């Protein structure tokens, strides 16, 4: 049985784009194929909760080789998208910090559903530890209202 949703997917307005791809990657260093977020759609700094969208297209670079008979969005890219949402939350929480959160680890990861292109993933994060040097977010990913992934992303401060 999956845990309770950090934010219920039905409560999110996917048309409410607060940060588009270009604005997200003004804050984050990832580029090209590793830009894994399409939009930030929810920011609640008081509750430490955030949400983003990742649209999965059938012609992405990994589709040809990751289960070619029926492409499945790789779990490692789902983790990367969740890590980028976590790094984004750090940039909002610590707006004056010039560094960026690097991937420090993952715990309690569970994959609960496969993601097939084309589809839209809703990613949600709740900041659970705001220490600058060891930042942690609980994360979940939903497809068509079903939880596809959950875990905790741990970040470490990088000075790039």
Q: What is the pTM of this model?
A: 0.95
List the Cα angle 23/28/31 in 5-degree steps. Answer: 90
Which whole number is the average pLDDT over 74-83? 97
Strand partners, 100: 158
Task: State the catalytic residue, choosing from 32, 42, 66, 97.
Answer: 66
Kindly list the structural domains of the chain, giving each domain's residue range(s) and its CATH number in brackets, ordered by start. 9-158 (3.10.129.10)
DSSP state of 138: E
Strand partners, 56: 119
Which whole number is the average pLDDT over 44-55? 98
The answer, yes or no, to whether residue 15 has pLDDT greater than 90, is: yes
The answer, yes or no, to whether residue 159 has pLDDT greater than 80, is: no
* pLDDT recorded at residue 95: 85
Confidence of residue 26 (pLDDT cuts 50, 70, 90): very high
Whether 66 is a known active-site residue: answer yes
Summary mean pLDDT of the chain: 94
């Amino acid at each position: 049985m999956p845990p309770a949703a950090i934010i219920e997917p039905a409560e999110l307005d996917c048309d409410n784009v607060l940060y588009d791809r270009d604005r997200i990657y003004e804050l984050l260093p990832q580029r090209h194929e590793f830009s894994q977020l399409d939009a930030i759609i929810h920011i609640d700094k008081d509750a430490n909760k955030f949400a983003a969208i990742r649209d999965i297209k059938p012609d992405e670079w990994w589709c040809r080789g990751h289960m070619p008979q029926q492409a499945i969005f790789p779990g490692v890219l789902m983790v990367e998208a969740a890590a980028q949402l976590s790094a984004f939350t750090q940039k909002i929480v610590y707006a004056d910090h010039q560094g960026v959160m690097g991937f420090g680890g993952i715990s309690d990861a569970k994959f609960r559903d496969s993601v097939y292109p084309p589809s839209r993933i809703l990613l949600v994060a709740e900041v659970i530890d705001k220490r600058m040097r060891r930042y942690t977010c609980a994360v979940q990913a939903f497809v068509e209202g079903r939880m596809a992934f959950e875990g905790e992303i741990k970040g470490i401060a990088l000075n790039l």
